[in-house]
Structure 1
């Protein structure tokens, strides 16, 4: 499709018996592989033409490399929009679909969902459908598949999707036996390309500002939920420790009453750093003070950590104490919560919470207060995660994207735990709107996550 665009701009005709194709620079195979694994930007500048053409290609979506690579595509697009390359607006987002398609596969549904979830709401009228392998007939089944998949795109005055037809087999050698068919394919593709470029003249390019906001909120939501899950796990383990301590006090109430020391055993949570495979997932940005994973997975920033998307005014927006970026490190390790059995004494307990005070009721009260503080932190983080979802609802093109849906059940459960039924219902409505047609794509997405 990209080669067809460039040959069209070069004015290549069938009688010229020539066809230009883009080739990789084979002098650096590693670089070529790296480029095609993430995104490739093609810049086309023809001296005789008043038009400059820039094409951003995102190959590899939904392939065997998994979701982490797909997230890197989003990060690369975000970085590109902030770079000095002057790609701060786009004229069109082109979705290439086979004209013979009867329905979108789970993989295609996942890919188109992932692409649409990158952009802000203002991009919808600039999304165009390019139907390949076309015979020139109206692609009725493919259009039905597009509608059933709820792909948002530009529409005409009859409120029907704007699409263009192609049969790009121009690079095949001329064959007298099939000359008529090859000529039809050529004419169909170049007519489609002419209509495509004519349509581009009628629409306004869109700034990538809202899209950058979407990408930023997605990254923050993912980091906060990952952090929230870790902190909830820690809280539950601490609650279990408290219960074991209370049981020990109850079992030894005569010793407590007489202020006699005694021993008891509890399972104590602790943090441990474990290695991650940097070839499978991006490295993690962790807070050394809070001992938390502030940006993982998806932290591709490798230089000054103050520029990480989780930082605001040089402080982290995720970790418990909102620590300065200098308290953070970037490496192939993450904090994992584990438990170990410890033998404690009643004297240890008193010293830890109340010094020489010997009132067991006050001791239990203090333990409870500590848990209440943890609960407040949990509530704050759950609300922050919900706010990220709500912001995405306002600005994202795809408000029921698989990215959001993967977190819905977890957040709904937590919102109910903190007595926020209305917020929980808001998220359940998002899931309801997504409908059954997304179940296959969700399954495909989940299988990727497991890999």
Structure 2
């Protein structure tokens, strides 16, 4: 970035474009900003100071980190540096504000895009502020942040120059919650962006942050490294050095990151849908086996073609809230993209069709309303005559009723295998493209998939997932316990 020369008249001009917050030393001012109307359905907002100059050099920074690490102060420090403010000016400008006036979304999950476009500054800067991870509102809100970032990347954020992982310098050891937060943050990105991730330590005394660096290394955070293969980091007070680094770094496209976010959401939706469908299949298989047993038990009645009554346990579906496919009677995305009005934007849709439901139905067949399909069981009386009608079976036909039931069981087993293989390949793809290959968000589903892959005689695939679990298990035990508890 070009150097910023002191200019008293410039500072006075900025003061004229601001409102006083507090008269002290330094005096605090709120910049007069423009909040762009992006529509109520957008899960992010755009706030600018000045107008963007397309001819100027421009940098984009993405800020991520834990709630309470001081991202707000850091964003304001970056803004003051860009405006050329120096200590002797005895002023402090603020671009940030609270989100309490946002009533259409939860304040914790809205992403804010700040534009610092001062005419007299040599460069333009965009700062993307993601809400703090580990908020008391729970894990679902952290997942919403990821989906909001996906939406932003689809709407126009195609590349970033730096991802700033903001860390409290006072940390000496990592709690389960902090391990989870580092995991969640790294789970956002594709593996190609590692060299653009830098650490910024806040609440620092100015001394070398030895303890927090040790904690970061223990968490195995993937980030840019220097010539000594040590993590690239900056203290809160080192804005000049940070922007010098920013001047020399090449921006990275978010294409792979977008794919990672999409795949993670699809995996979760697929497994959620798969669990319901496998449950229904297994209940259906049990129903067919009970029917076969009833035919064998009443073999004499069958031979004489006499009617008889028998009892089976059948499955049925109740509904709660989700994005569903009424055609397939399945949950495609639970709890769903809460900010989506047009379901073609839903993260489980591809080429206007669902990637989750059985028939891969068009998005227009889907609904977002207060229901979710839940498999239940009940006892039901059946008769031999009803069974013959259901399978359109007649005495002397080419195929016995038992064979028809066996064919239906085999078809259900084939469908079950296809679903499990699809989920397995989703995990495989994430292993190839994700920065955090062993994310706890993936590990949450591993045990279910391992068990079911073994059931369908896919031991090699089950072993691959077991190896992922073993590799990640020790390091992620605390994070996995945290996320499981707060789900």
Which interval holds the TM-score relative to the shorter structure?
A: 0.7 to 0.9
* Structure 1 residue aligned with 2:180: 110
In the superposition, relative to structure 1, how do residues 325 and 237 fare at CA in structure 2: closer, same or farther (>3 Å)?
A: same
Q: Structure 1 CA distance, aligned partners of 2:204 and 2:125? A: 25
TM-score, scaled relative to structure 2: 0.81
- 1:423 paired to 2:461: yes
Q: State the partner residue of 2:52.
A: none
Asked if structure 1 preserves the Cα contact closer than 8 Å seen for 2:108 and 2:141, the reply is: no
Instruction: List gaps (5 residues or longer) in structure 1.
Output: 167-188, 277-283
Paired residue for 2:285, among 226, 230, 239? Answer: 239
- Which residues of 2 match residues 254-403 of structure 1 at below 5 A? 254-274=300-320, 276=321, 284-300=322-338, 302-357=340-395, 362-403=400-441
What is the correspondence of 1:79-94 to structure 2 with a 5 Å cutoff?
79-84=151-156, 87-94=157-164
Q: Report the 3-state secondary structure (helix = DSSP H, G, I; strand = E; otherwise coil) of the residue aligned with 1:201.
A: helix
Q: Matches of 1:79 and 1:111 in 2, distance apart?
A: 21
Judge which range, 58-67 or 284-293, deviates more. 58-67
SS in 2 for 1:108: helix
Question: Over residues 51-73 of structure 1, what are the superposed CA-to-partner deviations in whole Å (9 max), with x where a residue is unaligned?
Answer: 11111112232212222211111
Deviation at 1:32, TM superposition (A): 9.7
Tell me the CA shift for residue 83 of structure 1: 1.5
The structural deviation recorded for 1:437 is: 2.6
Contact 1:119 1:396 in 2 (8 A): yes
SS at match of 1:56: strand
Residue 239 of structure 2, aligned match among 193, 198, 203: 193
Q: C-alpha distance in 2, partners of 1:143/1:383?
A: 41
Aligned residue number for residue 63 of structure 2 = none
Q: Secondary structure at the match of 1:19?
A: strand
Q: 1:138 aligns with which of 190, 202, 208?
A: 208
Relative to structure 1, is the Cα distance of residues 67 and 9 closer, same or farther in structure 2, using a 3 angstrom cutoff? same
Q: Would you say the 8 A contact 1:354–1:363 is kept in 2?
A: no
Shift of 1:236: 1.2
Provide the secondary structure at the position in 2 that maps to 1:137.
coil
Question: How many residues in Structure 1 have an aligned counterpart in Structure 2?
Answer: 414
Alpha carbons 1:392, 1:399 under 8 Å: kept: yes
Say whether the 8 Å CA contact 2:114–2:128 is kept in structure 1. yes
Query: What secondary structure, in the 3-state scheme, does the structure 2 residue paired with 1:227 have?
Result: helix
Cα distance change, pair 440–410 in 1 and its aligned pair in 2 (3 A):
same
| Structure 1 segment 164-175 matched on structure 2, within 5 A | 164-166=234-236
| Partner residue in 1 for 2:193 | 123
TM-fit CA distance, 1:375: 1.0
Once the two structures are TM-superposed, the CA of residue 211 in structure 1 deviates from its matched residue by 0.8
Between 1:68-77 and 1:301-310, the stretch displaced more is 301-310
Q: Does 1:4 align with 2:74?
A: no
State the Cα distance separating 1:251 from its structure 2 match. Answer: 2.6
SS at match of 1:93: strand
Deviation at 1:33, TM superposition (A): 7.5
> SS state of the match for residue 404, structure 1?
helix
Could you say if the C-alpha distance between residues 312 and 386 of structure 1 is closer, same or farther in structure 2, counting changes exceeding 3 Å? same
SS at match of 2:114: strand
Q: Which residue of 2 aligns with 1:147?
A: 217
How far is the alpha carbon of 1:257 from its aligned partner? 2.5
Cα 1:394–1:23 shift into 2, 3 Å = closer
Superposed displacement of residue 17, structure 1: 2.1
CA distance in 2, matches of 1:313, 1:16: 55
Alpha-carbon shift at residue 360 of structure 1 (Å): 12
Structure 1 match to 2:135: 63
Higher mean C-alpha deviation, range 148-157 or range 15-24: 15-24
Q: Does the 8 Å contact 2:319/2:373 carry over to 1?
A: yes
Query: How far apart are the structure 2 equivalents of 1:102 and 1:25?
Result: 30
Aligned CA RMSD, in angstroms, stands at 2.0
Q: Which moved more, 1:205-214 or 1:63-72?
A: 63-72
**1:19 and 2:65 aligned:** no
Of Structure 1 and Structure 2, which has the larger fraction of its residues in helix?
1
TM-score, L = length of structure 1: 0.87
Contact 2:323 2:368 in 1 (8 A): yes
Q: For the residues of structure 1 that align with 2:375 and 2:262, how far apart are their CA atoms?
A: 28
Q: Deviations over 1:119-157 (max 9, x none)?
A: 111110011111122222222221111111111010001
- Over 3 Å counting, the alpha-carbon distance change for 1:100 and 1:340 in structure 2 is same
* Residue segments in structure 2 that go unaligned for 5+ positions in a row: 1-73
**Distance of aligned partners of 1:360 and 1:63 in 2 relative to their CA distance in 1, 3 Å threshold:** farther
Q: CA deviation at 1:23?
A: 4.6
SS class of match (1:20): strand
Residue number in structure 2 paired with 1:230: 276
Choose which of 244, 250, 266 in structure 2 pairs with 1:220: 266
Aligned residue in 2 for 1:178: none
Give the secondary structure class of the aligned counterpart of 1:289.
Answer: coil
Point out which structure has higher relative CO (alpha carbons under 8 A, 6+ apart).
Answer: 1
Instruction: Give 1:303 shift.
Output: 2.8
